[in-house]
Structure 1
Amino acid sequence: MGVLRKTLNWYARLSPKHGASAPPFSHVVQIGDPTLRTVSHTVPIEKIKGEVVQNVIKKLQDVLFRYGSVGMSAPQIGINLRIFAMRHTAEQIASVQPEVAKMKGMSVVPYTVFVNPVLKVIDYQKVIHTEGCESVRSFAADVARYRAVEVSGWNAEGEPQSQVYTGWPARIVQHEIDHLDGKLYTDIMDRKTLHCTCWDEVNLSKGKVAIPFAPESV
């Protein structure tokens, strides 16, 4: 409890410097935030082009790119609407060893927004890979996901769209739709594999590691 109090006091000292903010946030909320455990609301189709929804979509794009992520859902920026954005660039894939990228089925995905996505499983075979989340910062675990899925919904312009994803893109989609249903990968992970992704840096620095919850550019 002493460590928890020190942590809370440290964050409390930050608050006056930054002031209060309201969603949609420019940061990603963290596990424990009630938004992440709330089933998101369907967006009325006629309101997709409206200012409120478009503002959420724009903020999703901003946060997705600032964090260098491959997927981001509206609940992660504090809004319980059924919207998510995804992308996987050639540069992001190149940062992974070629054999690993091939094994995980990684492929380029252009920036895409789904509003009110509906998931259909195409291939029920599940594949296990290590997965992380910007809302569970600096942790990862093994998670089983379906190999191929189809997603139907609307794009940012309010037009219907449907796309089949396989391999890693299918994992991104399943991860983000879970967020819209109030779920986290920690609900379905292999609990024994949960680990801090910077555990070795913690040891090398003798515990003097601060985990950033947002890029400095935010």
Structure 2
Amino acid sequence: MSKRTTTRKGTPRPVRLLGDPILRTECDPVRTFDASLERLVDDMFATMYAENGAGVAANQVGVGLRVFVYDCDDDRGRRHVGHVVNPVLTVADGDTLVESEGCLSVPDMRFDTPRFSHAVVEGVDVKGKPVRVEGTGYFARCLQHECGHLNGDVYIDVLSGDARREAMRAIRALRP
């Protein structure tokens, strides 16, 4: 994905890398909707754009709350930009598409990852107002990926067989 320009405020935060325990811990629901939550969302957008990502979950910036942001296109080329607080993946269906996928927390690596072609996420925004986000294609992939982070998963967890072995070998080879 090419780097998007943005006028959003916020300060990029360091991205946590695979091996950091926060990435493997299920995130807590947001209970307080205040200026600090809005600042977190702004910082997450700034981080996503600084890192040239399509989405960022709160635990990727060291915050164990159920929040993610996104900016990506669907299978029709329509751009989707937003955030979801306390998201629940309510639908993941359609064809299973195996496509190259990456993650800011596993930098410089991409693996063919199976994802459903359609996804629906329900939650609320930073003000507590209900939101429902529906995506197809790459956007559906993004929604599934970010919800996985908030459950303590990383995209390599959905790999199996030879693809998983290849990913684990590549990751081990990078570790000192």
TM-score (norm 2): 0.81
State whether structure 2 residue 27 is matched by structure 1 residue 40: yes
State whether structure 2 residue 91 is matched by structure 1 residue 121: yes
**Structure 1 Cα separation of the partners of residues 62 and 75 of structure 2:** 31
State whether structure 2 residue 122 is matched by structure 1 residue 135: no
State whether structure 2 residue 52 is matched by structure 1 residue 65: no
The equivalences for 1:204-215 within 5 A come to: none
Q: CA RMSD in A?
A: 2.1
Deviations 1:44-80 (A, max 9, x none): 1xx22x1221221111011011112110000000001
**Structure 2 Cα separation of the partners of residues 114 and 39 of structure 1:** 16
Identity of aligned residues (%): 29
Deviation at 1:157?
Answer: 2.8
Deviation at 1:125?
Answer: 2.8
- 1:29 maps to which residue? 16
Q: Is the 8 A contact 1:143 1:188 kept in 2?
A: yes
- 2:116 maps to which residue? 146
State whether structure 2 residue 64 is matched by structure 1 residue 80: yes
Unmatched 5+ stretches in structure 1: 1-23, 90-103, 197-218
**Structure 1 Cα separation of the partners of residues 79 and 148 of structure 2:** 19
Deviation at 1:124?
Answer: 4.2
**Structure 1 Cα separation of the partners of residues 89 and 16 of structure 2:** 24
More strand by share: 2
Bigger drift between 25-34 and 118-127 goes to 118-127
Unmatched 5+ stretches in structure 2: 1-10, 171-176
Bigger Rg, which one:
1
More helix by share: 1
Q: Is the 8 A contact 2:91 2:118 kept in 1?
A: yes
Q: Is the 8 A contact 2:12 2:43 kept in 1?
A: yes
- 1:52 maps to which residue? 36
Number of equivalenced pairs: 156
